[in-house]
Structure 1
Amino acid sequence: MTEPLSPAVTICRDLIRCPSVTPNEGGALTVLEKLLSANGFTVSRVFFREEGTPDVENLFATIGSGSPHLVFAGHTDVVPAGDEEAWSAPPFSGEIVDGTLYGRGAVDMKGGIASFAAAALEFVRNRGADFGGTISFLITGDEEGPAINGTVKLLDWAQKAGHRFDAAIVGEPTNPQSLGDAIKIGRRGSLSGQLTVTGIQGHVAYPHLAKNPISLLLRLTSALDTLQLDAGNERFEPSNLEIVTIDVGNPAFNVIPRKAEARFNIRFNDEWTLESLKAKIVETLDAAADGAPYELAFRPDASQSFLTRDERLIDALSVSIEAKTGRRPALSTGGGTSDARFIKNYCPVVEFGLVGQTMHQVDERVDIRDLDALAAIYGDFLERYFPQG
């Protein structure tokens, strides 16, 4: 006789079965809406649009009243499955094989949403809706996409609707090896730029009639590549700059190209602001150019670094993790960016979810015991964050 699935596993499987590849809702928000509204949450489905970007549907659900107001943030959109023939089980089937749940989004991050939903529903059933505060879900369908019509606008919408958040948990897969390894309490910032050097196209046999832009571009990229921004500090890893592409678009062997371009990205710590970092890049490039003309354009989607110092939030979550896993989590600021970079403008935010080793891979999967363990951690945290009386 097959044992019944736990609430966390059931919800995760139901979400995986929704093909919610960015920007398609795919039925995932409908699954959450039915589940939460049936258990007393007030649920809103909110569309956002902007010219030149896909329309995105989002969800906001809330229960309780007053402060403290805890918001759980996440995304139901997923990256494409890739070669579906390479999967051990169909990527949107939600199959369970030997205790492992397979499917796109299993860890990034439908599993985190499912575990928190299971924990929150049990907490509300045990305590009732008058539990001494407010719990909300802020769920976007745009995290894996342009991130324009999702969390940024949903946060603004919620604020205008009168919601004031005291703390937030983002359920991204934060653990490198085992559940309980790490809580993300901050993130490095991100700044991207494009370099363009324009020369004069000509025949390679007559270089005096042309001007090769590649020579200057190589000087500029070499200056960036050897630039040491900082040594890091007790809170953050060193900032790093990476050249991600150099493009000329010249298939010929006998033509000096007219234009050469390069792109770079910097992940930077709190030794820098966006303004001071941009100034450092311009200073470095000007020195390398030595008066030669070049163009530099910074992308508008830059984000500042941040560090959360809310001891109540961090301590309660750390204690819950240790109580359920036996591990005291490291307080990490490593990795890339997430929607926490937007939420930190509204309230203190940390990230904690599943083990992230298979995210975005073929055969993305999660051990169903980890789903239940994560739900237990979230449930214990809710008890500590909203104490009786």
Structure 2
Amino acid sequence: MSIDPVDLAAKLISVPSVTPASGAVFDVLDDALRSIGFTVHRFTMGEAPDGPTENMVAIRERGPGPHVGFAGHLDVVPAGEGWTGSAFEARIEDGRLIGRGANDMKSAIAAAAAAAAELDQQGGTLSFLITGDEEGYATYGTPRIIDWLNERAIRPDMILIGEPTSETRLGDTVKIGRRGSVNFWLTVTGTQGHVAYPHKADNPVPRLARIVAALSALHLDDGSAAFPPSNLEFTAVGTPTNASNLIPGEATAQFNIRFNNLQRGDDLIALVTRTARDIDPGCEVRSRISGEAFLTPAGKLYDLVTGAIEAECGISPELSTGGGTSDGRFLIQLCPVVDFGLPNATMHKVGESAGIEDIRALARIYRRVFAGGLEA
């Protein structure tokens, strides 16, 4: 049975699945994969605010041989305002499939399913590792899929992740690693009071300003052979009041560090905490590591992906570690991983879309990768 990747992508888009996702959107993929010989396992875990999250492991085993995994996510970011029509009613205009998730990354999942349908799999194992919480904190997402695999002693030899990595055209960029990410929330406490009587208050804003300046001045590193320099960026600074005559009782800041393979999340947390408390010993520093930096070493997976792109697109891709994180930060625990997918210009934007011909070409690339990976 064949699968039309554009038709399947449209069906997936037309089921709203804002993170954390579960239910009907998984039903659509479940039906498609079962129709081409996969055994589908689904499990839902967790409670609000990080759950419930549904995960899927679909496996098609055709005798002894390598195990190739494809990983992706069915959850999407909120639609936002400004769409022409509904963000969750897929439509085709000017050769593009439009709808939330068309780019990131329901079309890639559909392309992988279409590739599997066309694959004359003589041996080995092909699996789909699909989560409903990649756009969120992933508390009950891909890490729980890894637990499920480990409990059953199932280990892929390589994993292709369908994130939209291409920049200006399909095939120009493959992600062979990702930076780590750690988020911080900083609170400096003072004593609220009237601005006309500052001696009766304790203004936390100047201390927060000194901490912001000190953290901004940190030189983390100069980058490595495969990664750019680590970077700290403030994303919010505020107080609980906007009154012009009131000294606030606290001041807060929020920031993120994207870091390379020269750093570890725990070490950065220690550095930030020490820097902040040198200025204000009583400040509160909260943090959350989204993932550590990783780099997949050169090998068979590199060669399969670059070779498939060269055959279908006629270009040699750049091997990059730039951009945001992906669930590769977890899956690297299992085996080599590479991210490759559609051009990413519209991901998360109003009017998100993917080129029809790009989706079809992506299916052909994935088929080449799967076929090559399953060869013993």
TM-score (norm 2): 0.94
Matched, 1:249 2:262: no
State yes or no: 1:268 paired with 2:268. Answer: no
Change (3 A) 1:269 1:255: same
- Mapped contact 1:242–1:264 kept (Cα < 8 A): yes
Distance in 2 between residues matched to 1:52 and 1:116, nearest whole Å = 31
* Residue of structure 1 in register with 2:32 after alignment: 35
Query: Counterpart in 1 of 2:68?
Result: 70
Give the Cα separation in 2 of the matches to 1:50 and 1:81: 23
Residue 192 (structure 2) aligned to one of 201, 205, 209:
201
Quick one: distance in 1 between partners of 2:75 and 2:186? 32
Are the aligned partners of 1:197 and 1:259 in contact in 2 as well (CA < 8 Å)? yes
Q: State whether structure 2 residue 53 is matched by structure 1 residue 56.
A: yes
- Written as runs of structure 1 = structure 2, the 5 A alignment for 1:334-373 is 334-373=322-361
Moved more, 201-210 or 86-95: 86-95
Q: Secondary structure at the match of 1:195?
A: strand
Q: Scaled by the length of structure 1, what TM-score is found?
A: 0.91
Partners of 1:155 and 1:343 within 8 A in 2: yes
**Equivalence for 2:115:** 119
Q: Distance in 2 between matches of 1:104 and 1:243?
A: 28
Match of 1:105 in 2: 101
In the TM superposition, structure 1's runs of 4+ consecutive aligned residues that sit over 4 Å from their partners are none
The DSSP-based 3-state class of the residue aligned with 2:22 is coil
Q: Which residue of 2 aligns with 1:225?
A: 216
Deviation, structure 1 residue 72: 0.6
Among 94, 110, 129, the alignment partner of 1:138 is 129
Does the 8 Å CA contact 1:101/1:365 hold for their aligned counterparts? yes
* 1:249-299 alpha-carbon deviations (Å, 9 max, x no partner): 122222211211111110011111123323332343345x1xx42324232
Amino acid at match of 2:353: R
Residues 135, 94 of structure 1: CA spacing in aligned structure 2 closer, same or farther, 3 A cutoff?
same
Question: Aligned-pair distance for 1:241?
Answer: 0.3
- Alignment length, in residue pairs? 374
Among 174, 177, 191, the alignment partner of 2:168 is: 177
SS at match of 2:218: coil
| Residue pair 1:99, 1:367 contacting (<8 A) in 2 also | yes
Q: CA deviation at 1:66?
A: 4.2
Residues 188-217 of structure 1: CA deviation (Å, up to 9, x unaligned): 111122222112222212222221111111
> Structure 2 vs 1, CA of residues 79 and 282 (structure 1 numbering), >3 Å: closer, same or farther?
closer
CA contact (8 A) 2:181 2:257 kept: yes
Shift of residue 89 of structure 1? 4.5
Q: What is the root-mean-square deviation of aligned Cα atoms in Å?
A: 1.9
Cα distance in 2 for residues equivalent to 1:300 and 1:156: 21
The answer as to whether partners of 1:193 and 1:264 remain within 8 angstroms in 2 is yes
**How far apart, CA to CA, are the structure 1 residues paired with 2:243 and 2:313?**
60
Q: Please list every run of 5 or more consecutive structure 2 residues that lacks an aligned counterpart in the other structure.
A: none
The answer to whether residue 364 in structure 2 is matched with residue 376 in structure 1 is yes
Alpha-carbon deviation of 1:51? 6.1
SS of the aligned residue for 1:337 comes to coil
Measure how far apart 1:132 and its partner are: 2.8
**Match for residue 313 of structure 1?**
301
Matched, 1:13 2:6: no
1:258 aligned partner: 249
User: Offset at 1:169?
Assistant: 1.0
Q: Secondary structure at the match of 2:223?
A: coil
Residue 79 of structure 1: aligned partner: 77
Identity, in percent, stands at 46
In the alignment, is the contact (CA less than 8 A) between 1:190 and 1:303 conserved in 2? Answer: yes
* Deviation (angstroms), 1:368: 0.6
Q: In structure 2, what is the Cα distance between the partners aligned to 1:35 and 1:6?
A: 8
Q: Measure, in 1, the Cα distance between the counterparts of 2:72 and 2:174.
A: 15
Partner SS for 1:241: strand
- Given that residues 20 and 50 in structure 2 are in contact (C-alpha distance below 8 angstroms), is that contact kept between their aligned partners in structure 1? no
Distance of aligned partners of 1:67 and 1:329 in 2 relative to their CA distance in 1, 3 Å threshold: same
**Structure 1 322/236 Cα, relative in aligned 2: closer, same or farther at 3 Å?**
same
Mapped pair 1:96 → 2:84: no
Q: Which residue of 2 aligns with 1:238?
A: 229
Separation in 1 of the partners of 2:54 and 2:157? 25
Maintained 8 Å contact 2:9/2:102? yes
Alignment partners' CA distance in 2, 1:165 and 1:298: 36
Instruction: Determine if the alignment matches structure 1 residue 46 to structure 2 residue 43.
Output: yes
Q: Over residues 93-145 of structure 1, what are the superposed CA-to-partner deviations in whole Å (9 max), with x where a residue is unaligned?
A: 2211232111111111001101111011110xx23xxx331110011111123
